[in-house]
Amino acid sequence: MSGLNTPQQQAVAYLDGPLLVLAGAGSGKTKVITEKVAHLIHSGQMAAEHIAAITFTNKAAREMRERVGRRISKSAAEAVTVTTFHSLGLKFLQEECRQVGLRRGFSIFDSDDQQGLIKDLLPAGADKDALYAAQGWISKMKNMALSPEQAQEHAKSLREKDIAALYTRYQGRLQTFNAVDFDDLIRLPLQVLESDAEARLRWQAKLRYLLVDECQDTNGAQYRMIKALAGSRGLFTCVGDDDQSIYAWRGAQPENLDELGRDYPALKVIKLEQNYRCSARILRSANAVIANNPHAHLKKLWSQHGEGAPIRIWSCKNNEHEAQRVAAEIQYLVQAHSLPYSEFAILFRGNHQSRPLEKELQLLKIPYHITGGTAFLDRGEVKDVLAWLRVIANPDDDAAFLRAVTSPKREVGSTSLEKLAQLAHNAHVPLSLAAQNSSYMSALSARPAAGLAEFSRLIVKLRGQSKNGKAADIVRAVINESGILAQLRLETKNEALFLRRKENLDELAQWFESERRPSGAGDLAAQLALLSNADRGEPGNQVRLMSLHAAKGLEFRCVFIVGCEQGNLPHQSSIDEGHTEEERRLFYVGITRAKERLYLAHSAQIKRWGEQVHLLPSKFLDELPEADLHRDGVLREDQAEEQQARASVHRQAISALFDS
């Protein structure tokens, strides 16, 4: 356990029962989890195949897997389960599919598929607000682990009762399609674990020791899943930080950390308070802010990194002025201190705040990357190929069939598809099988019938190849033989754009060549559905622009938080509702992303819906220790030379703009 501080060593060594590690920002929680996996194996306390480390994102799981791999043997590393909650749920359902009425090769509906299905079930003429409300409420019910029947009882208003009835029909339709949605990947395994003692004991025997990362982000269903797997033995280490719980809007319940103590009275709590990231000034400010929230276990972060630079508070005229100051300061720091662009982050409450920042960064030719663009798996051409893969893997997947049969277009219009759907419904068969029935095809016009026949021939051919062929080869065969690539060429006039879209498809194929990927087309399609854009690719040497929510888990030498105004941070809705605790946690997360320099900017007025709105500085700025701040208009003697250097760089930048 060399290289660990005393609390970290205690957390790694404790194996006598349930353990909660309250890990402050930058305190080395991933290192603790990694070392504990190694300790469990090296001490002989637990075989590798009985250990499961569970986190929330594929990126975090990948990082943890790599770290574990460096501490234990290759065979042990392959035996340890390092996974996300949803991937674990998928693995469970693949083994226990009959328990929940699924057949092997089931599909996973993404958000678009969900919306398409719900839209079909809603009354004719229902608007997008009704669609989103229904989708959100159903997801909320599933995150609470409520079945359609239980949701009916839970519903209070007439609107909720209507959506609960729709939830019943929606789930029935999923069953017909042999499909699940993302929320089902937690709800359905939990249903089995809580109702079937034999299955529960079987999985408890498989996963005898659990390590759960970011436990404060668990929702109700995920927390119950942990309890069901851990059982009364309580052999687990949960790592979390209630001060960094910022995902209540998607169901996270930070109170789950308190719940652990009630469910497991023998729970041991260890605090990790030494921060390895931030300067002392930044930590004092973070501690001062978060102390205003109620705590069951108050932490006080400290660091050995020295005092560091004062935190700068900028009072700006408007968004444009704010953006100009940020861009100019980045340019100065890059030139004066030889900092790479990748060490800068600009954080904001909402993505719409990026527009003036982009404009100013472009003017000064500062490279930047915005987190939160179109997700890789949401790109049209990628979704088209995935739809083909899903039909190949699961003939019952009607949603995938409807997308694949029109990607590329093959003279099969909506009228013909509606007629086919009616025939399939009457015969109780999926669309893909109906399309292979010659008697059904005779009921359609010649051109759509021919298009469907050609599509069916290709699907049957590719399905045959998928049984024995390599995964990457299946993907490439779909790309080339489906006509998707040819269609891209026809519809994309710009050569550079065509090549970028083709590269997306090449990348998709390459993903299947990675180690330890499943071999069957069904498993492949299911695994792909679990990926997210946040887990793919690195932005390189560019300034990072992202929301405060997206910044969690990251760190930068220099951080700018813009839009620190009442009504924005904290958001007006939280002010109106009388609770700003989560907004304060969000601000705390932003502060603790900075290692050396932190800038907090607020504007006197902002443009909102075409009108100028006057705002006050965020109340969170008043919670910062004044001694650690440098506000506008106050210049210390030791900063005069620095100010002159700044002015010189800014003049050079302005001259360069005119010269170009």
Given the residues 34, 244, 580, 592, the one annotated as active site: 244
DSSP string, 551-584: HTT--EEEEEE---BTBBTTBHHHHHHT--HHHH
What is d(CA 63, CA 81) in angstroms, rounded to the nearest whole number? 13
Q: Is 339 helix (H, G, I), strand (E, B) or coil?
A: coil
What is d(CA 19, CA 260) in angstroms, rounded to the nearest whole number? 9
- Judged by phi (left if over 0) then psi (alpha if -120 to 50, else beta), residue 345 lies in beta
Active site residue 29: yes
- What residues are paired with 132 via a beta bridge? none
Residue 229 Cα distances to 41, 88, 182, 206, 287, angstroms: 20, 11, 20, 9, 35
419 and 448 in contact (C-beta within 8 Å)?
no
245 and 209 in contact (C-beta within 8 Å)?
no
- What residues are paired with 302 via a beta bridge? 274
Given the residues 30, 34, 135, 171, the one annotated as active site: 30
What is d(CA 519, CA 524) in angstroms, rounded to the nearest whole number? 7
Write out the H or E segment, with its range, that includes residue 240: strand 236-240
Instruction: Provide CB contacts within 8 A for 581, sequence distance 6+.
Output: 293, 294
DSSP string, 37-97: HHHHHHTTSS-GGGEEEEES-HHHHHHHHHHHHHHS-HHHHHHSEEEEHHHHHHHHHHHHG
Radius of gyration for the chain, computed over Cα atoms and rounded to the nearest angstrom: 27
What is d(CA 101, CA 52) in angstroms, rounded to the nearest whole number? 26
Residue 658 Cα distances to 110, 327, 364, angstroms: 49, 17, 11
Active site residue 244: yes
Q: Which amino acid is at 75?
A: S
188 and 39 in contact (C-beta within 8 Å)?
no
Q: Is 209 helix (H, G, I), strand (E, B) or coil?
A: strand
Active site residue 213: yes
Active site residue 271: no
Given the residues 214, 242, 343, 397, the one annotated as active site: 214
DSSP 8-state assignment for residue 307: -
What is d(CA 483, CA 412) in angstroms, rounded to the nearest whole number? 15
Given the residues 29, 271, 281, 325, the one annotated as active site: 29
265 and 239 in contact (C-beta within 8 Å)?
no
What is d(CA 91, CA 84) in angstroms, rounded to the nearest whole number? 11
Active site residue 259: no
Active site residue 502: no
What is d(CA 182, CA 132) in angstroms, rounded to the nearest whole number? 16
Q: Which amino acid is at 22?
A: L
65 and 143 in contact (C-beta within 8 Å)?
no
Given the residues 224, 593, 597, 646, the one annotated as active site: 593
What is d(CA 7, CA 272) in angstroms, rounded to the nearest whole number? 6
Q: Where does residue 374 rank: exposed (0-12), middle (13-18), buried (19+ CB within 10 A)? A: exposed
- What residues are paired with 313 via a beta bridge? 600, 631
With b for 16 or more beta-carbon neighbours within 10 A and e for fewer, the 192-210 pattern comes to bbeeeeebbeebbeebbbb
Tokens of 242: 């209630």
What is d(CA 370, CA 278) in angstroms, rounded to the nearest whole number? 24
What is d(CA 31, CA 418) in angstroms, rounded to the nearest whole number? 55
Q: Where does residue 399 rank: exposed (0-12), middle (13-18), buried (19+ CB within 10 A)? A: buried
Given the residues 96, 213, 523, 582, the one annotated as active site: 213
Residues recognised as catalytic: 29-30, 213-214, 244, 593
